[in-house]
Amino acid sequence: MSRSDLQSTRFDHEVLRVERGPRSDVAIAVAVHSTQAGPAIGGCRIKSYPDWRDGITDATRLAAAMTEKCLLAGLPHGGGKAVVMDPGNLHDVDVRHLVLEDLADVITGLGGTYITGPDIGSTPEDMDAIHQLTGGLSFCRPEASGGSGNSSNATAQGVIAALVAGGEHVFSTSSLSGLRVGIIGYGSVGSLIAESLASRGCTVTVAEANQQRRDDVEAAGLEWARGDLLEEDLDILVPAAVGGLLSPESARACRARLVVGPANNQLTDEGVASILHENGTTWVPDVVASAGGIIHAVCREEMGLDEQETASRVAAIGATTAEILAESRDVAITPQATARNIAARRLKEMA
Ligand code: PHE
């Protein structure tokens, strides 16, 4: 299972559909990485890209990560992803509806092999529209429409479970109290993690590209970072913005001993996992730490579990994290490689 997809000679995905939506004139890419364990799931990312090729790369890389995410979370699904390349006019409700209609056609054309969900830039209302247009192929509609609603809280809970397990592994303590934590990204998930960590007695510093969120950060009693948190003297770093934060250079410069966060595709390339490992930084693979939202959606909407049972499935991310970190220490390979081995084993068990 390779995640370097476009850089490799082998096309690892089952399907990649790219089109300029006939109604909206907006570019859409939908990647289905694997349906081996069940229909592919993955969010719909609505974002501007400097180059349309970057949107395709994002779709394929994120779809492959979703396959691992589902396997490691024990969900009977494969990975997919939809990317809508925002030309800058998708806040206009009419244009937005046209692009959702175009996207719905692509999803319908995949015949149930791909079910979408929320991701950066897409809302529960978007999921509602897609659900209606596709006859049910989306997760996380608003609760009022019969869906499981916003998945941010469950994603944050999953990250906290991974943080606690990571903290036990690295600092040999089950309490995070007194630790210095830097959070990069104060969006819907990052802000919830920040609050939860502050209430556990951590010293929390937030770095956020959007200056307008500074008041919110300070009103929550958190410190606004002056510079780049990557090189700051921290115990824990939480990447909670878009991916690609950890490059070979930043991994070498990183001073935090533990890195855990909800951002997808945190590493710019596979080699970064080894650099972090050699640098003495324990990195909990993003595919493990970020699974809370999807676990919540599938448990609630597909498996019919109640909130309590669902919360315990989300909390099980802690046990998975502990398993990966222990195995990684025992066999002296990176947590990334360990997670991949476990995902491959799970796939075999399912076959
Ligand atoms: N954006 C979510 C993720 O990356 C995808 C998701 C899909 C979440 C379906 C909830 C439900 O994991």
- CA 218 to each of CA 209, 233, 294, 314: distance values in angstroms, whole numbers, following the listed order: 15, 21, 30, 29
- Range list of H helices, 212-334: 214-219, 248-253, 271-278, 286-289, 292-301, 307-315, 317-331
47 is known as an active-site residue: no
Give the atom of ligand 1 at the shortest distance from the alpha carbon of 297.
11
B/e letters for 43-80, b = 16+ CB within 10 Å, e = fewer, are bbbbbebeeeeebbbbbbbbbbbbbbbbbbbebebbbb
Q: In a structure prediction context, what are the per-residue pLDDT tens digits for the chain, which is 351 residues long? A: 444 444 567 899 999 999 999 999 999 999 999 999 999 999 999 999 999 999 999 999 999 999 999 999 999 999 999 999 999 999 999 999 999 999 999 999 999 999 999 999 999 999 999 999 999 999 999 999 999 999 999 999 999 999 999 999 999 998 999 999 999 999 999 999 999 999 999 999 999 999 999 999 999 999 999 878 888 899 999 999 987 899 999 999 999 999 999 999 999 998 999 999 999 999 999 999 999 999 999 999 999 999 999 999 999 999 999 999 999 999 889 999 999 999 999 888 876
In this prediction the pTM is: 0.94
Cα 19 to ligand 1 centroid, rounded to whole Å: 22
Q: Is the CB of 290 inside a 6 Å radius of any atom of ligand 1? A: yes
Mutate to test the pocket of ligand 1, among 151, 264, 287 (most ligand atoms within 8 A of CB): 151
Q: Is the CB of 293 inside a 6 Å radius of any atom of ligand 1? A: yes
Cα 302 to ligand 1 centroid, rounded to whole Å: 14
**Are the CB atoms for 342 and 288 separated by under 8 Å?**
no
Cα 269 to ligand 1 centroid, rounded to whole Å: 22
- CA 5 to each of CA 56, 246, 295: distance values in angstroms, whole numbers, following the listed order: 11, 19, 25
Q: Is 114 helix (H, G, I), strand (E, B) or coil?
A: strand
Mutate to test the pocket of ligand 1, among 294, 298, 300, 317 (most ligand atoms within 8 A of CB): 294
d(CA 338, CA 321) in angstroms, rounded, equals: 11
Give the atom of ligand 1 at the shortest distance from the alpha carbon of 119.
1
B/e letters for 270-306, b = 16+ CB within 10 Å, e = fewer, are eebbebbbeeebbbbbbbbbbbbbbbbbbbbbbeebe
Cα 31 to ligand 1 centroid, rounded to whole Å: 14
Nearest protein CA to atom 5 of ligand 1, as residue: 43
